[in-house]
Amino acid sequence: MNIQTLQEKFFHAKQYRPSDVNELLDFSKSLYLNGALSISDYRTAVKDLESQGASTPENA
């Protein structure tokens, strides 16, 4: 899943634009855990988001 598609899904679900790439990373994880995102799409999203500076908290 590309970042643009993920941003659109985020907007439709939350009714606002994500404030940063970390918010999109959390959202993609939520979609994956709820079965709405395949493992390959999740991995692609994480890779793309991390290349844009997204990171998970150290104690997560």
Q: pLDDT digits over 11-38, tens only?
A: 999 999 999 999 999 999 999 999 999 9
**Residue 27 covered by a domain:** yes
Rounded to an integer, what distance in angstroms lies between the CA atom of residue 17 and that of residue 33? 21
Answer yes or no: is 11 within a domain: yes
Domains in the chain, number: 1
Q: Quick check: is 18 in a domain?
A: yes
- Name the average pLDDT for the chain: 92
Query: Global pTM?
Result: 0.89
Q: Distances in Å between the alpha carbon of 35 and those of 26, 48, 54, 57?
A: 14, 20, 22, 23
**Cα 32 → chain centroid:** 9
16's tokens? 């606002």
Give a yes or no: residue 7 inside a domain: yes
- What proportion of the chain, given as a percentage, has pLDDT over 90? 88
Q: What is d(CA 29, CA 59) in angstroms, rounded to the nearest whole number?
A: 16
Please report whether residue 31 resides in a domain.
yes
The whole domain housing 42 covers 3-51
Residue 12 lies in a domain: yes
